[in-house]
Amino acid sequence: MGQERDREPLSKLQMDNPLDFRFHAAYMAYSKAWDENQSEATRAELNELISSLSTGKASYEAFYANLNQFRGQQVEFRRERIQSQRKRDWRQSEKRSARNSRYRK
């Protein structure tokens, strides 16, 4: 127990590289997760995640998969189906609805 009191508090790693977009985005996600979590154990794991990414030991997919457990919100991406129609079909339906509205008064 004496060792825990003597240990210095963990600090956020300052290894951001704004010129490398992928790493910069990963660092920003790490930084946000760091600020949201107060636990020393969690912060130590976050430091390990970003340092393994910077040295190339972990891929970006693995980094984000491990980081998601420390994030406050869960982000889920879904693909929405976009319905479209040809311009000719749209014009015909507009003419039909206009004609119907004129005569159904």
Provide the residue range defining the domain that includes 40: 10-103
In a domain, 98, yes or no: yes
Q: Which two tokens stand for residue 44?
A: 């130590």
pTM to 2 decimal places:
0.61
Helices (H), 7-103: 21-36, 40-55, 60-67, 87-103
In a domain, 5, yes or no: no
Stretch 53-62: mean pLDDT: 91
Q: What's the domain count of the chain?
A: 1
Q: What is the dihedral of CA 55, 57, 60, 64, to 10 degrees?
A: -110
In a domain, 70, yes or no: yes
- Contact assessment for residue 1 and residue 7, using Cβ atoms and an 8 Å cutoff: no
In a domain, 4, yes or no: no
In a domain, 60, yes or no: yes
User: Per-residue pLDDT for 3 more than 60?
Assistant: no
In a domain, 2, yes or no: no
In a domain, 93, yes or no: yes
User: Per-residue pLDDT for 105 more than 80?
Assistant: no
